[in-house]
Amino acid sequence: MVTTNALAEIASLIGEPARAAMLQALMDGRALTAGELSRVAAITPQTASGHLAQLAASGLIAVTAQGRHRYHRLAGPQVARLLESMMLVAVGRQIKPPRTGPRDEAMRRARTCYDHFAGRLGVGLAEAMMTQGWIEIGEEAAMLTSAGSDRLKQAGIPLPDIIRTPRRATPLCSLCLDWSERRPHIAGVLGAALCAHALAENWVRRQPGSRALEITPKGTRSFRDIFCIEA
């Protein structure tokens, strides 16, 4: 076996509370500096730097130097997937849902999950697209129908070539079980395209220092007009 030790190594890297907090902060897909991450984890910059060096050496995060800053981001979608499935297990484990503070409420309403939407917004979008026949949802995957492809194109939402070319149907959007809603939302290429477009068009705004999203009035209109949901 190749992976008996490697598995434990990866897991123990994530298993340290400070490192876990930093990784979680990177779950929105953006790149943060070591200083920001040290504040997130509530440790001194030196300690954070050491942790980040370990994470980078193990390939969990990638680092790009820019001037006197060093930007850290998750190494790729697979790492985000790993963390997300971990949260799912962690949530399924607990008996009673603890207090839901206001900050928590914002997260449950709408947030990013690496490169796509999650929370009630993400789940609502998936459900709306399904009831209107734009996608078909199976147990573990979803598929964009040609009707859905047409409608999105018509709404001005750019889709990558792989999706756009309608060779029959395109099973390109994987599902991601939402840890707060316990229902699937749209991930994969389609999810990333939707999220990118919504951010570019200012339908949603990132909250500073959080993965939570604020839905703008323009976004509320767009989501209602295009997807027929009340966000």
Partner DNA sequence: CAGATGTTACGGTCGGCACCGAACGATCAT
Partner DNA sequence: ATGATCGTTCGGTGCCGACCGTAACATCTG
Per CB under 7 A, residues contacting DNA are: 12, 16-18, 33-35, 38, 43-54, 63, 67-70
Considering CB distances under 5 to 8 angstroms, the limit depending on partner class, which of DNA, a copy of itself, none binds residue 82?
A: a copy of itself
Interacting residues with a copy of itself between 80 and 99 (CB under 8 A): 81-83, 85-94, 97-98
Q: Which is nearer to DNA, 53 or 228 (CB)?
A: 53
Phi, psi of 198 (to 5 degrees): -65, -35
Cβ-based nearer residue to DNA, 47 or 78: 47
- Closer to a copy of itself by CB, 188 or 219: give it: 188
96 binds, among DNA, a copy of itself, none (CB under 5 to 8 A by kind): none
Binding to a copy of itself in span 170-229, by CB under 8 A: 170-175, 177, 179-180, 187-189
| Residue 36 within binding range of a copy of itself, rule CB under 8 A | no
Question: Which is nearer to a copy of itself, 69 or 81 (by Cβ)?
Answer: 81
Length of the chain equals: 231
Of 119-127, 149-157, 162-170, 200-208, which part binds a copy of itself (CB under 8 A)? Answer: 162-170
The span from the CA of 192 to the CA of 80, in Å, is: 13
Binding residue for a copy of itself (CB under 8 A) from 138, 156, 166, 209? Answer: 138
Which residues contact a copy of itself by CB under 8 A?
1-17, 19-21, 24, 58-60, 76, 78-79, 81-83, 85-94, 97-98, 103-104, 107, 136-143, 162, 168-175, 177, 179-180, 187-189
